[in-house]
C-alpha cells in the first residue's frame, strides 16, 4: 500500500467517524467502524439489501423481505424496574415458508476459511428474534451458515440442533463447537460470537459474556461451499433445515472483539434501532453516493455488489 493511498483511506475513515456522530448523515455507528461487513436491514431495493461498509448486497430469496413495521419492546426509564414501551422499527424476515437470505459468496476470505483470518480471529454479531413454535417437532434448522457444519467446507454455523442451539467454527484442522442450552424465545436478542484461533470461542448475549469453549482437532480438507446464508445451511436448499426468523442486523469482523467492544455493539444497535423515530432513522441511513463508491472500492473489500443474476452462480456450489 502506498503512502498516498494510506492517507486517503485514513481521511475517509475520519470523515465516516464525523458523520457517524452528526445529524447530517449516518454511514455506520462508531461501534461498527472497523467491521468488515454490516447489514442493518433497514430497507431493500428489489431483492437486495446493502452492506453499508462495502456496498455488497445481501439477496432476499423466495419471499424474504424487509419489514418496516416491526414492534420492539424496550425499557424506558426506571432501571431494573423499567417500564416496557413499544416502538416501531425495521428488520428482515424469513418467516414466509421457504424464504432465506444470501449475504454473498465469501470464497477465499476469512469468513468461509477462518484459517485465513489475518488477525487470527473473527467476530459475528446478529440481532435476531427466534420463535421455536415455527419449527416442526425434532426439526434441525439453521440461523447462519458459511460452511462450518459440513465436512466438505470450513467457516461457521449457528443452528438449532436436537432441541438446543449450537455454534461451530471450523478450520482446516480444528473445530470449536459450543452448545447453548437456550435462547429467549420470540424475543429480540443480540448474540455475539468472538473467536481467536489461539484461544477460545466466546459467546455473548445482550452484551454479557455467557460461556466459552476450546477447540479440538478435526479434518476439513475441502472448501466446496463458500456462500454465507441466513435462515438455511449454505450447502442445502431443503425447507426442513430452514429456521424462519427475523433479523435486525448482521455484522462481521475479521478479528476477535473484546468484551468492551461487544458491549458497545449491543448499546449501539439499541440506540440506532430502538430509540429513533422511523423518519429520522431513514434519513440517517442515506449514504452519499460519493462516499458509497469510496467504501465499495476500499482495499480488502473484494466482493463486487451482488446482482440477482449472481444467485444462479452462487447456487451452483450446492
DSSP string, 17-59: HHHHTSSS--SS-GGGTT-SEEE-----BTTEEE-TTT-PEEE
Per-residue pLDDT at 254 exceeds 90: yes
**Average confidence (pLDDT) over 91-107:** 95
Least confident of 8-12, 42-46, 120-124, 151-155: 8-12
Residue 130: pLDDT band (50, 70, 90) is very high
Residue pLDDT, tens place only, 165-219: 999 999 999 999 999 989 999 999 999 999 999 999 999 999 999 999 999 998 8
Per-residue pLDDT at 148 exceeds 60: yes
The single-letter DSSP state of residue 242 is: B
What pLDDT is attached to residue 235?
A: 87
What pLDDT is attached to residue 290?
A: 36
What pLDDT is attached to residue 201?
A: 98
The CATH number of 15-74+86-315, from 2.40.37.10, 3.30.420.40, 2.60.120.200, 3.30.1120.10, is: 2.60.120.200
Share of the chain above pLDDT 70, in %: 70
Which 3 state secondary structure label does DSSP give 251?
strand
What pLDDT is attached to residue 41?
A: 94
Residue 70: pLDDT band (50, 70, 90) is confident
Residue 72: pLDDT band (50, 70, 90) is confident
Rounded to whole angstroms, how far apart are CA atoms 288 and 87? 28
Residue pLDDT, tens place only, 173-183: 999 999 998 99
**Average confidence (pLDDT) over 121-128:** 97
Name the packing angle between helices 3-20 and 289-296 (round to 10°).
130
Q: Copy the grid coordinates of residue 280.
A: 429520522
Residue 87: pLDDT band (50, 70, 90) is low
Average pLDDT of the chain to the nearest whole number:
78
Q: Within 10 A of 5 (CB to CB), how many other CB atoms are there?
A: 10
**Average confidence (pLDDT) over 116-136:** 95
Per-residue pLDDT at 95 exceeds 70: yes
Rounded to whole angstroms, how far apart are CA atoms 52 and 33? 10
Rounded to whole angstroms, how far apart are CA atoms 190 and 205? 6
Please give the model's pTM, rounded to 2 decimal places: 0.77
What pLDDT is attached to residue 88?
A: 72
Give strand pairing partners of 242.
142
Whether 234 and 156 have beta carbons less than 8 Å apart is answered as no
What pLDDT is attached to residue 43?
A: 87
Q: Per-domain residue ranges for the chain?
A: 15-74+86-315
Amino acid at each position: 500500500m502506498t503512502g498516498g493511498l494510506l492517507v486517503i483511506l485514513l481521511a475517509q475513515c475520519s470523515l465516516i467517524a464525523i458523520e457517524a456522530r452528526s445529524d447530517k448523515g449516518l454511514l455506520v455507528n462508531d461501534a461498527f467502524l472497523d467491521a468488515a461487513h454490516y447489514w442493518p436491514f433497514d430497507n431493500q431495493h428489489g431483492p437486495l439489501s446493502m452492506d453499508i461498509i462495502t456496498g455488497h448486497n445481501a439477496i432476499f430469496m423466495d419471499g424474504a423481505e424487509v419489514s418496516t413495521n416491526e414492534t420492539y419492546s424496550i425499557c424506558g426509564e426506571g432501571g431494573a424496574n423499567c417500564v416496557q414501551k413499544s416502538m416501531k422499527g425495521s428488520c428482515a424476515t424469513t418467516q414466509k415458508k421457504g424464504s432465506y437470505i444470501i449475504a454473498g459468496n465469501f470464497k477465499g476470505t476469512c469468513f468461509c476459511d477462518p484459517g485465513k483470518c489475518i488477525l487470527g480471529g473473527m467476530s459475528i454479531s446478529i440481532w435476531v428474534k427466534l420463535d421455536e413454535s415455527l419449527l416442526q417437532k425434532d426439526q434441525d434448522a439453521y440461523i447462519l451458515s458459511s460452511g462450518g457444519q459440513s465436512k466438505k467446507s470450513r467457516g461457521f454455523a449457528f443452528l438449532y440442533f436436537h432441541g438446543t442451539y449450537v455454534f461451530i467454527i471450523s478450520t482446516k484442522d480444528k473445530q470449536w463447537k459450543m452448545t447453548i442450552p437456550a435462547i429467549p424465545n420470540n424475543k429480540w436478542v443480540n448474540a455475539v460470537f468472538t473467536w481467536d484461533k489461539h484461544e477460545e470461542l466466546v459467546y455473548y448475549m445482550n452484551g454479557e459474556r455467557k460461556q466459552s469453549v476450546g477447540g479440538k482437532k478435526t479434518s476439513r480438507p475441502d472448501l466446496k461451499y463458500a456462500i454465507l446464508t441466513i435462515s438455511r445451511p449454505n450447502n442445502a436448499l431443503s425447507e426442513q433445515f430452514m429456521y424462519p426468523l427475523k433479523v435486525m442486523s448482521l455484522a462481521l469482523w475479521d478479528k476477535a472483539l473484546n468484551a468492551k467492544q461487544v458491549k458497545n455493539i449491543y448499546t449501539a444497535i439499541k440506540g440506532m434501532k430502538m430509540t429513533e423515530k422511523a423518519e429520522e432513522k431513514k434519513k440517517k441511513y442515506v449514504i452519499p453516493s460519493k462516499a458509497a463508491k469510496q467504501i465499495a472500492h476500499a482495499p480488502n473489500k473484494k466482493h463486487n455488489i451482488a446482482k440477482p443474476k449472481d444467485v444462479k452462480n452462487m447456487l451452483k456450489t450446492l
